[in-house]
Amino acid sequence: MFGLSNAESSIRMKHKTLLHAILTRLIKEFQKLDYLLSFTFVGSGRKLLNEGENNYVSREIHQYWKVLDLDFVIVVDRLNDQKIKKINSIFKKICQSINIPDIKIKYETRVGPIKLVTRKNLQIMFHRLLFDERLYKEYCKINRLTPFNWQLYTPILGQPLRKIFEIDNITPKDLLESRSGVNHYIKMLETHTINPKLLRKHGLQYNYTTTTLHLNEQCYIKLILDSVIKCAGNFVKLYKPIYIEDEYNISHIFYQMFDDFKFNKLPMIFVNYKNLINCIPCKPTPDFILGLKELSLVFLKEIRNYLKKEA
Would you list the domain boundaries of the chain? 8-310
- Is the predicted pLDDT of residue 1 greater than 60, yes or no? no
- Is the predicted pLDDT of residue 35 greater than 90, yes or no? yes
Residue with the bigger pLDDT between 264 and 249: it is 264
Give the rounded percent of residues in the chain with a pLDDT score beyond 70. Answer: 88
In the predicted model, what is the mean pLDDT of the chain?
Answer: 87
Lowest-pLDDT range, 49-63, 166-180, 186-200, 221-235?
49-63
**DSSP 3-state helix, strand, coil percentages of the chain (rounded to 5)?**
50, 15, 30
Which tens digits make up the pLDDT trace of 275-298?
Answer: 888 888 888 899 999 999 999 999
pLDDT of residue 125: 92
pLDDT of residue 310: 75
pLDDT of residue 204: 86
pLDDT of residue 190: 97
pLDDT of residue 23: 93
Which tens digits make up the pLDDT trace of 5-33?
Answer: 443 334 344 677 888 889 999 999 999 99
Q: Any residues with CB less than 8 A from the CB of 153 and at least 6 apart, and which?
A: 40, 41, 42, 46, 161
- Is the predicted pLDDT of residue 229 greater than 60, yes or no? yes
Lowest-pLDDT range, 38-52, 121-135, 182-196?
38-52
pLDDT of residue 118: 80
DSSP 3-state assignment of 243? coil
Q: DSSP string of 75-99?
A: EESS--HHHHHHHHHHHHHHHHH--
Count Cβ atoms below 10 Å from residue 180 Cβ, excluding itself. 24
Residue with the bigger pLDDT between 79 and 100: it is 79
pLDDT of residue 19: 86
| 178 — pLDDT class (breaks 50, 70, 90) | very high
| 81 — pLDDT class (breaks 50, 70, 90) | very high
- 96: region left, alpha or beta (phi > 0 left; psi from -120 to 50 alpha): alpha
What is the C-alpha to C-alpha distance for residues 153 and 41, in angstroms, rounded to an integer?
A: 7
Residue with the bigger pLDDT between 3 and 197: it is 197
Mean pLDDT of 130-145: 95
pLDDT of residue 12: 40
Beta-bridge partners for 197? 111, 210
Mean pLDDT of 298-303: 96
